[in-house]
Structure 1
Amino acid sequence: MEEEYIKLIFGLKLKQVRTKRKLSLFGLSKLTGLSKSYLNEIEKGKKYPKTDKIALLAEKLEVPYDSLVSLKLDKNLAPVGELLQSKVFKELPLELFGIKESDLIDIVANAPTKVNAFISTIIEIAKHYNFGKENFYLAALRSFQEASNNFFPDLEDAAVQFAKAYQVDLKKSVSSSELEEILVEEYGYTINNEELTKYKELDNLRSMFMPKTKTLLVANHIDEAQRTFIYAKEIGYNFLNIEERLYTFTWIKFNNFDQVLNNFYASYFAGALVIPRDLFRKHIDSFLGKPKFDKTFLTGLKNYYNASPESLYQRLTNILPNDYQLENLFFLRLSHKRDSNRFDITKELHLTHHHSPHGNETNEKYCRRWVSIRVLQEIAKTDEEHHMDVQISHYPSDGLSYLIFSSATVDPFKKDEYRSVSLGLLINSELKKKVAFLDDPSIKTFDVGVTCERCSIADCDVRQSQPIILKRQERNVKTEKVVEELQKKFS
C-alpha cells in the first residue's frame, strides 16, 4: 500500500470519529494535548502519527486502536477509499484542467461524507449509462479538446517542422510510400503486410506495432488513405518522442489516460501532416466562396488529400474554429448495420456549448430526419463507396438551425456495417458572412429533434417512438401549475 494512501485513510477515519463525537479540532486538541495544527495535518493526510500518539487518540476518542489503524473503511467512507486507491488522481493529467492534486485531496479530507455522496451519484449514473473506464478517459479527452477549441498550435508547428526536416512537400498530398521510406530509413521500422491476415481474431485491426523489433504489422486490405494515416501516426509517436502509447489501431483498451492523450496527439499530428493547414485553407476558401453548394467538393478533397472522409471532417474541426472563427460546431460519427433499425453515436465533439444533435439517453431513438442517418440508409441500399449529402436542420425546441454536411462509407472491417461522419455549423451571423452558398435553394431544410421520445414535431412520418418523455414533462408542468394555483387560493 502506498504511504500516501495510508495517511489519507487514517486522516479520514480520525475526522469521521471526531465529528461523530461532535468535537472540534480545538476540542480534540484540548482533550489529547496534541496541537490543533498537528491534528489538522493528520486529518488532511499530510502526517501519520507515531504509535503512542495513535494510542492516545484511540483512548480519548474511545475507539479500539486496531479499528483506528485498520485500512478497512465503513460504508460511508468505502467509495472515497476506492477512489483514492484507484489512483485516478495520478492517471488523469489534472494540470491540463488547471487542477492541483492537493486541492482534490483537501476537498475529500474536508467533506468526506459529502464527497462520498457525490462519488456514489457518479457511480450510479455511470452504471445507468453503461459508462466504463475507457468512456471516462475519452470523456476527459473530449473535454480537453473542447476547452482548447480543438486547435493545438504546438502540434501544427511540429508537423511543419517535421516536413521541413525530412523535405516533405506540404504543398501537395503526401503518399504512404514517402512516409514508409522515412519510417524504415530514419526510425528503423520493418513493415509487415501479411501477418495480421493470418489471425481471424485480428480482422478488425488496421495495424499493430511491436516495439522490441520495431515491426509494424499492417492489414493488407486497407486502402491508400488508411495506410498513409497509419504511417503518419507512427511518425507522430516518434517525432513527438512519445513513449507511453497504444500499440494497436484501432485501440483495444487503454491502460491509463496518458495513452489516450498521446494517441490523440499522434493522430492530430498525422492529420496536420496528411492535410496541411495552409493548403487546406485554400480549398476551404474556394468551397465557401461558391454561390452554389458543390456536392463534389468533399469527394474531390478525399481523393486529393489521400485521406478518409473522417480525417477530412476532423481536420475541419481544427481549422474552422481557429482560422475562420466558426467556433459553434459539432462533429458526429454514427454506425449502422444493414437491415437493422439501430443507429449508434460512436464519437462526438461539441465546441462552445452542447449542440444538437448529441448522444442522449440509452435506448432512445435518434431522429430519423438527421442527414447523418439518411446517408447511412442510402449507402446501405446502394453499396456506394462514399455517399455524401447536406441539409439545414432546424430544431423547433430551441429555435436553432445548423448547416450539416454528412458522409457515409462502408466499414472496411465489419461486414454489412456502415458509418457516417457529420459536421454541423450553427447558422448565425458569422456563418452567413463566411458561407456564400447558404441560401442555395438546393439545400433542403428539415425540422428535426434529438430523439423521438423528446420530440414535439406532430406530423413526422419517420417517427420511431412516441414522445413519452416530452409528454411526461408537459404533464409535470401542468401539475405544477395547478399546485401553484391551489397554494395561492388557500394561502
Structure 2
Amino acid sequence: MEQDYIKLIFGLKLKQVRTERGLSLFGLSKLSGLSKSYLNEIEKGKKYPKPDKIALLSQHLDMPYDDLVSLKLDKNLAPIGDILQSKILKEIPLELFGIQESTLIDIISNAPVKVTAFISTIIEIARNYNFSKESFYLASVRSFQEANNNYFDDLEQAVIKFAKTYQINLEEKISSKELEDILIEEFGYTINNDELGAHVELENLRSIYVPKTNTLLITKSIDDAQRAFIYAKELAYNYLKIKERLYTFSWIKFENFDEVLNNFYASYFAGALTIPRGSFVNDINNLFSQKRFNIKDFKALLSKYNGSPESIYQRLTNILPEDFNLKNLFFLRFSHRKGSNRFDLNKELHLAKQQTPRSNENNEHYCRRWMSLKVLNEISDRNTEHEFDIQISNYPEENTQYLVLASATKDPFRSDRFRSIAIGIKINSQLQRKVNFLEHKSLKKIDVGVTCERCSISNCEDRQVPAKFLESKAKEEKTASIVEEITRRYS
C-alpha cells in the first residue's frame, strides 16, 4: 500500500475509536498530551505518529497497540479499506472534475459510516449490472465530455497548428494518402496492409500498432474515410506526444484510465482534422438557413468530408454546443442484426444529462418510433448502403421535443449487421432561432416513448409488448386508493 493510504487508514481508525469513546479532539488532546491540531492532522491522514505517540494513544484510548496500527478494519470501515488497498482512488480521474484527492479523503474521514454505506451501495450496483472497470472508465470519460459540452479548444487549436506545420489544406477534403505520407516520412511508420487479413479471428479489428518496430497493421476491408481516421489518430498520438495509449482499434482492453482518456483525445483530434471546424460550421449554417430540410443536401454534406457518417454526427456534438449554443442534445449509436428483433444501444452521450432516450439495462424494448431504430429497419429491409431520416420526436409525458437526425450504414466487418447513429437536439427558443426549417409542414412530428414496458401512448401500432411497468404502477395506486378509502370509513 502507498504510505498516504496507510496514514489514512490509521487516521480513520483513530477517529472511529475516539468517537466510540465519546471524546472530542480537545478531550483526547488533554488525555494524551498531544496537540489538538496534531491529532486533527493524524485523523485526516496527513501525518503518521511515531511509535511513542502511538503508545500514548493506545494507553489513553484503552486499545491494544497492535490493534491500533493494524491495517485490518472493522466491518463499518472495511469497504473503505478495500478501496484504499485496491488503489481505486488513484484510478478514478478526480482531477478531470476538479476534485482533489485530499478533498475526497476529508469527506471519507468526516463521515466514514455514511460514505461506507454509499460505497457499498455503488459496489453492489456494479456487481448486479456486471459493471466492469472498463465500463467505469468509459463512463468517466463520457461524464468528462458532458461536463465540457464535448468541446475542447486546446485540441481544436492543436489541429490548426498541425495543419500549418505539415501544410495540410483544411479547406479541401483530406485523403488518407496525405496522412499516410506524414506518418511514414515524419514519424517513421511502416504500414502493413496484409497481415490482419490473414487471420479470421481478427476480422473485427481495424488496426494494430506495434511500437517496437513502429509498424501499423491495418485491414484492407475499410474504406478511405475509416483509413484516414486511423491515420489521424496515429498522428494525434505522435503530435500530442501521448505515451499511454491503446494499440488496437477497436480496443480489446484497457490497462489504465490514461489509455482511455488519451484514446478519446486522439479520436477528437482525428475528427477535428478530417472534419475541420471552420468549413463545417459554415456548412451547418447553410443547412440551418434552409426553409425546408433537404435530405439530398444533408447527404451531400456527409460525403463532402473524408469521414464516416458516425464521425460527422460525432463532430456535430462538438460544434453545435460551441458555435450554435445548442447544448441540450444527445447522441446514440445502435447495432442490429438483420432478421433480429434486438437493438443494442452501445454508445451514448447526453450533454444536458436529462434526456430520456438512455441506455436501458433491463432488457426492455426500445421505442420502435425512434429514428435510430426506424433507419435500421429500413436499411435491413432494403439492403442499401445508407439510410437517413429526420423527425421531431415528441415525448408527451415530459412535454419535451427533439429534432432528431439519424443515419444507418452497413457494418463493414460483419455480414447482415447494421448500425445507426442519431443526434437529437432539444427544441427550445435557441434552436428555433437557429433553424429555419423547424416549422415546415414536411417535417413530421411523432409521439415517442422510451421503452414499450414504460410507455403510456395508447393504440401504438409499433408496440412490441404491453406497458407492464405502468400497469403494475396503476395497480399499486388503485390498491393504495382502496386501502385509503377503507381506512377513512373505519376511522
Match of 1:364 in 2: 364
Give the structure-2-normalised TM-score.
0.95
Q: What is the rounded CA distance, in whole Å, between the counterparts of 2:198 and 2:65 in structure 1?
A: 61
After superposition, where does 1:41-440 map in structure 2 within 5 Å? 41-440=41-440
- Maintained 8 Å contact 1:176/1:227: yes
Matched residue of 2:439: which SS?
coil
**Cα offset, 1:296, TM superposition:** 2.1
**Cα offset, 1:157, TM superposition:** 1.0
Matched residue of 2:31: which SS?
helix
Give the structure-1-normalised TM-score.
0.95
Q: What is the rounded CA distance, in whole Å, between the counterparts of 1:63 and 1:270 in structure 2?
A: 60
Structure 1 stretch displaced more, 222-231 or 279-288? 279-288
Matched residue of 2:437: which SS?
coil
**Cα offset, 1:483, TM superposition:** 7.0
**Cα offset, 1:361, TM superposition:** 4.0
Q: What is the rounded CA distance, in whole Å, between the counterparts of 2:88 and 2:429 in structure 1?
A: 43
**Cα offset, 1:423, TM superposition:** 0.7
Cα distance change, pair 261–487 in 1 and its aligned pair in 2 (3 A): farther
Deviation track 1:421-451 (CA, whole Å, cap 9, x = no partner) reads 0011112222222222223333322111011
Which amino acid counterpart does residue 373 of structure 2 have in structure 1? I
Q: What is the rounded CA distance, in whole Å, between the counterparts of 2:72 and 2:249 in structure 1?
A: 41
Structure 2 residue ranges without an equivalent (≥5): none
Q: What is the rounded CA distance, in whole Å, between the counterparts of 2:361 and 2:2 in structure 1?
A: 39
Structure 1 stretch displaced more, 111-120 or 381-390? 381-390
- Maintained 8 Å contact 2:32/2:60: yes
Deviation track 1:264-286 (CA, whole Å, cap 9, x = no partner) reads 11111111110111111222122
Structure 1 stretch displaced more, 382-391 or 165-174? 382-391
Q: What is the rounded CA distance, in whole Å, between the counterparts of 2:41 and 2:472 in structure 1?
A: 51
**Cα offset, 1:94, TM superposition:** 2.1
Matched residue of 1:232: which SS?
helix
Which amino acid counterpart does residue 112 of structure 2 have in structure 1? P
Deviation track 1:243-263 (CA, whole Å, cap 9, x = no partner) reads 111111111122222211111
**Cα offset, 1:479, TM superposition:** 5.7
Which amino acid counterpart does residue 65 of structure 1 have in structure 2? Y
**Cα offset, 1:32, TM superposition:** 2.4
Matched residue of 2:292: which SS?
coil
Match of 2:33 in 1: 33
Deviation track 1:338-391 (CA, whole Å, cap 9, x = no partner) reads 222111111111123421211134212111111101111121222211111111
Which amino acid counterpart does residue 467 of structure 2 have in structure 1? P
Cα distance change, pair 78–458 in 1 and its aligned pair in 2 (3 A): same
Q: What is the rounded CA distance, in whole Å, between the counterparts of 2:447 and 2:393 in structure 1?
A: 6
Cα distance change, pair 370–4 in 1 and its aligned pair in 2 (3 A): same
Matched residue of 2:242: which SS?
coil
**Cα offset, 1:487, TM superposition:** 8.3
Q: What is the rounded CA distance, in whole Å, between the counterparts of 1:297 and 1:83 in structure 2?
A: 54
Which amino acid counterpart does residue 214 of structure 1 have in structure 2? N
Q: What is the rounded CA distance, in whole Å, between the counterparts of 1:156 and 1:412 in structure 2?
A: 29
Q: What is the rounded CA distance, in whole Å, between the counterparts of 1:487 and 1:68 in structure 2?
A: 56
- Maintained 8 Å contact 1:298/1:309: no
Which amino acid counterpart does residue 258 of structure 1 have in structure 2? D
Matched residue of 2:422: which SS?
strand
Q: What is the rounded CA distance, in whole Å, between the counterparts of 1:263 and 1:464 in structure 2?
A: 38
Which amino acid counterpart does residue 214 of structure 2 have in structure 1? K
- Maintained 8 Å contact 1:408/1:421: yes
- Maintained 8 Å contact 2:330/2:355: yes
Structure 1 stretch displaced more, 300-309 or 392-401? 300-309
**Cα offset, 1:472, TM superposition:** 3.3
Percent identity among equivalent residues?
63
Matched residue of 1:182: which SS?
helix
**Cα offset, 1:165, TM superposition:** 1.1
Structure 1 stretch displaced more, 460-469 or 263-272? 460-469
Matched, 1:4 2:20: no
Counting matched residue pairs gives 491
Q: What is the rounded CA distance, in whole Å, between the counterparts of 2:218 and 2:72 in structure 1?
A: 49
Which amino acid counterpart does residue 373 of structure 1 have in structure 2? L
Q: What is the rounded CA distance, in whole Å, between the counterparts of 2:296 and 2:393 in structure 1?
A: 21
Which amino acid counterpart does residue 186 of structure 1 have in structure 2? E
Deviation track 1:383-430 (CA, whole Å, cap 9, x = no partner) reads 211111111111111011111110111111233221110011112222
Cα distance change, pair 63–395 in 1 and its aligned pair in 2 (3 A): same
Q: What is the rounded CA distance, in whole Å, between the counterparts of 2:162 and 2:474 in structure 1?
A: 58
Matched residue of 1:71: which SS?
coil
Cα distance change, pair 35–490 in 1 and its aligned pair in 2 (3 A): farther
After superposition, where does 1:470-489 map in structure 2 within 5 Å? 470-477=470-477
Structure 1 stretch displaced more, 193-202 or 141-150? 193-202
Q: What is the rounded CA distance, in whole Å, between the counterparts of 2:469 and 2:309 in structure 1?
A: 35
- Maintained 8 Å contact 1:411/1:419: yes
Structure 1 stretch displaced more, 224-233 or 408-417? 408-417
Q: What is the rounded CA distance, in whole Å, between the counterparts of 1:67 and 1:464 in structure 2?
A: 60
Q: What is the rounded CA distance, in whole Å, between the counterparts of 2:302 and 2:194 in structure 1?
A: 27
Structure 1 residue ranges without an equivalent (≥5): none
- Maintained 8 Å contact 1:321/1:327: yes
Deviation track 1:179-218 (CA, whole Å, cap 9, x = no partner) reads 0000000111111111122223322111111112111111
Which amino acid counterpart does residue 231 of structure 2 have in structure 1? Y
Which amino acid counterpart does residue 330 of structure 2 have in structure 1? F
- Maintained 8 Å contact 1:92/1:258: no
Q: What is the rounded CA distance, in whole Å, between the counterparts of 1:30 and 1:162 in structure 2?
A: 65
Deviation track 1:292-332 (CA, whole Å, cap 9, x = no partner) reads 22112343233221210100000111111211222221111
Q: What is the rounded CA distance, in whole Å, between the counterparts of 1:33 and 1:160 in structure 2?
A: 63
**Cα offset, 1:85, TM superposition:** 2.5
Structure 1 stretch displaced more, 444-453 or 58-67? 58-67
**Cα offset, 1:160, TM superposition:** 1.0
- Maintained 8 Å contact 2:287/2:298: no
Q: What is the rounded CA distance, in whole Å, between the counterparts of 1:353 and 1:91 in structure 2?
A: 24
- Maintained 8 Å contact 1:317/1:331: yes
Matched residue of 2:438: which SS?
coil
- Maintained 8 Å contact 2:93/2:140: no
Q: CA RMSD in A?
A: 2.0
- Maintained 8 Å contact 2:176/2:227: yes
Which amino acid counterpart does residue 387 of structure 2 have in structure 1? H
